[in-house]
Structure 1
Amino acid sequence: MLNWLLIFIPIAVYLEFSQGNAVWIFVASMLAILPLAGLMGRATEELAIRAGSAVGGLLNATFGNATELIIAFFALKAGKLDVVKASITGSILGNILLVLGLAVFLGGLKHKTQVFNQKNAGILTSLLTLSVIGLLIPAVFDLASVNFAHVAQPADLDFKVSVAAAIVLILIYLGNVYFSLVTHKDMLSPHDDEEHEAATWSVPMAVGVLLASTVAVGFMSEFLVGSLEEASHALGLSEFFVGIILIPIIGNAAEHASAVMFALKNKMDLAVTIAVGSTIQVALLVAPLLVLLGLTVGQKMDLVMHNPLELIAVAAGIVIANSIARDGESNWLEGLMLLGVYVLLAFAFFYFPTVSAAAVH
């Protein structure tokens, strides 16, 4: 449906190499990433059809987050650490409020009340809570070291704690994968597996599209990040807002399409697994990987959220997602609640004043 936007790939390339206006480069790159993320999602779905619900949900979450990981890596390489951190927070909020909200709302409009595996949802939401707590520990450590231990320059300590947290979170993620695919692979309802439609792409074609789209996303991401500062200033947007709202929406395009599609087909097990599983993957894999990847490009990125609004937003998102997912049923009103919270937070982030890095401490 969005394939016509692929025309913006050559447009973005032309603007970049002809040193065109930064705003147009930013817009063209952003629009080009949307269909590429959609193609990555479609190729992943074709592979997931052959793999079953458990592996399928994992594949959708993984390659859905690949777009955002690539964008964040180029921002990290460019030294835009605040944008990277904001994109992590924005991805968590986008998945559990926007993606899940759209799936529950649109699926509920069509099917009134939808049911999904309560036990699986309970495990996912528990893991979601624990994973976000793991991300919040560095922020609490920073707050305590400054206000209780009176450390004047906590940056080095924050980085050491963040590296340790990154390693632990990745190990937890690997344990979750083993749990989901090996020891407790029957936790996802088999009902979804029985209703899978036939694959229309061959495996080589799906893999080829996936690889080609990933490479193209890499180029578009570099153009996007390169024009970010000038374009955001020209458009009157803060880099913080771009990082926490716009980049996650672009990066989550594949999850949007997949989760909503499965919800409309009344396959809420897959929709919930994709939305919540993607959030867990951001917290347990994407964020820690960015910390470790920072070491390879000479950037010391920690996991500290200095903005209290981010901390409150993440906590609020987790609370409402838990309350909606734990009973094993959903309806359109619950989806509207999730979307409403996301819109309120988006307005708060839009109007939040820009704070310089030097003023954080």
Structure 2
Amino acid sequence: MQLTDVDTDAEFRAQVRDWLHDHVPREPRPMVDRRAGREFDLAWQRTQYDGGYAGVSWPSEYGGVGLGLGQQLIWYEEYVRAGAPDIGCGFVGVNHAGPTLIARADDEHKAFHLPRILRGEAVWCQGFSEPGAGSDLASLRTRGELDGDEIVVTGQKIWTSEADLADYQELLVRTDPDSERHRGLTWVICDMSLPGVEVRPIRTMAGTTEFSEVFYDEVRIPLRNVVGGLGNGWSVAMSTLGFERGTGFLREQLELARYVEDRLAEADRRDPVVVAALAVARAEVRAMYAMTLRMVSRSARGLDPGASASMIRLYYSQLRQQVERLVVDGADVDGVVLGRDALVLDRYLDGYKVTIGAGTKDVQRNIIGERGLGLPRP
């Protein structure tokens, strides 16, 4: 896979840059009113769709642009360069629910859901983790009992991002009551408006309520909403997590790179320790992105990326926390307390989640040990 611009890619980059210059929203995203934030996110997603830039690498028959991964990378690079908004509540749908449907769903599901995600008509959330099944996802206990042409779901999920704003959920349940661990699980599309679904927001230490508990009281989901077949949920979930840990956060890496560059430009040159630490962080971010490009290149050539996604996810999460701590340490105390630098503190507190989401840092290390180094299972 050629990752340097050839003539056609250079033309695409110029077109993207011009379009973003003309269309990136100038007003800030609403942060306190979550419903207003949802409307902002979906309106921006619709603008991208109307402009012909939603789902750059998604199949054109389902509303995507149908280009390659090289063009997708260019889009991300120019997106961050233009200071375009964070994807917000569209993250799950665009970055891993949609790609999972492309890879594992039937044509009916693709035709119904993929265009709605790209047009900004639906928000998705993820129903995987449970109070007793976070890092050890295979021990989940939420039941899905078969009753005719329906699955009756009873149980609880936790740490569900954007559940209070979501229309649909990628839900993992145990449909074989006699099964254990990875067997007997099913990946199903749950309509969040169904009777019996209750969402309770969780307030984090950063003061946000983006995470929720979700309770299911005999929620009846059509059997046709199963993706990948009954009992094959673990395999489908691994596809989901592969997208979430891998290409799903490419843009986040680029945003971290820009954040480091901005902080380095603002650094007080009279403090060589801070400047040196930021310079090292800049080098590490660039190294991480080079690793990501290598993984994307291998995937594009049909090669098994192995443990690369977990390596990069672990690297990113710890590096982001390191950068946030470094910026807070160098911030003016009065500015943080009185509000001038409050966003610095917000980012720092929010950054604690990144070594937990998509599998904790310890889970990632286990995957690297087993799949990358051939070590025995712990």
Identify whether the pair has TM-score above 0.5, normalized to the shorter chain: no
Which structure's CA Rg is the greater one? 2
Q: TM-score of the superposition, structure 1-length normalised?
A: 0.30
**TM-score normalized by structure 2?**
0.29
Of Structure 1 and Structure 2, which has the larger fraction of its residues in strand?
A: 2
Larger RCO (alpha carbons 8 Å, 6+ apart): 1
